[in-house]
Amino acid sequence: MAIEFTAFPRATEGRGASRRMRRAGKAPGIVYGGTARPTPIELDHNALFHALRNEAFHSSILTMRLDGAATKVLLRDVQMHPFRNEILHVDFQRVDENRKIHMKVPLHFINGENSPAVKLNGAIVSHVTTELDISCLPKDLPEFIEVDLIELDVGHSMHVSALKLPAGVIAVPQKTDPVVATAVVPRAQVETEEELAAAAAAAGAEGAAPAAATAEGAAAAPPAVEKKEEKKDDKKK
C-alpha cells in the first residue's frame, strides 16, 4: 500500500524562521536528490509525528504531494528535540526509479518460540540486529525482511548470510558476517540444573552408604557366632 503525505513550499529559512514555524504547528524539512535543486518544505507537525510512528514510513517509497505534483521520495533523516515530542527537521530524498538505492529496512523475526532452542532447552532468543542495510531498485524495496528462526538451536547464531532476501535485494557487503540472532540458556536456569544434578548425585551417594554398611555387618556376623560356639565347647570340656 502506497503511503502519501502532503508538504508545502517553505519561503523562509534560518533558525528564527524554523522556531516560528514550529510554534505554528509546522515542521521544517527539505527534499533533495535527482536533477532538481534542494527544495525547502514544511509539513503539518502532528500529521508527520503520527506518520513517523508507522514503521513502513521509514522504509518505503513515499509519495509526496507538493504544489499539486506527486514525487517519489524516501525518508532519510529526522531530528527530534532532546526531551520533547517535537520534530526539529526532516529530510527526504527524491527517488530515481532506474537507480539502485541503499536503505535500512527492519527485520521481523518469526518462529523463535518454535525453535529447538526454546522448545527443548528453554533458551532465550536475542535479536542482535533489528535492521539490515540493503541495496535494490526502488520497485524491489521491501517494507521489512522476515527472519525465520525455526531451526535455531542453543549455542548457535543466525548470520546475515543465512537470511533469505526477496528477489532483487542484496545485503550491503560488510567486512564481517554480522550476527542477526542468537539463543542462550539463562545462567540461572543452568545453575539450577547443575544444583539439581549435584543434589541427585549426593542423594545417591547417601543411599549407597547405608547399604554398604549393612552388607559389611552381614558379612561380619558369622565369625562372631562361631566364636560363641567355641566358648560353649570349652565350658563343656
What are the counts of helices (DSSP H) followed by strands (DSSP E) for the chain?
5, 13
Residue 14 — left, alpha, or beta (φ > 0 → left; ψ -120 to 50 → alpha)? left
pLDDT confidence band for 79 (50 / 70 / 90): very high
Do 177 and 161 form a contact (C-beta atoms < 8 A)?
yes
Of the chain, the percentage scoring pLDDT greater than 90 comes to 65
DSSP letter string over 49-103? HHHHTSHHHHHS-EEEEETTEEEEEEEEEEEE-SSSS-EEEEEEEE--TTS-EEE
112 vs 93: CA distance, rounded Å: 36
Is residue 120 pLDDT above 80, yes or no? yes
By the 10 Å C-beta count (0-12 exposed, 13-18 middle, 19+ buried), 41 is classed as buried
Do 97 and 138 form a contact (C-beta atoms < 8 A)?
yes
pTM: 0.72
The per-residue pLDDT for range 198-219, each reduced to its tens digit, is 555 555 555 555 555 555 555 5
Compute how many other C-beta atoms are within 10 angstroms of the C-beta atom of residue 76: 15
The per-residue pLDDT for range 134-191, each reduced to its tens digit, is 999 999 999 999 999 999 999 899 999 999 999 999 999 989 999 999 999 886 554 4
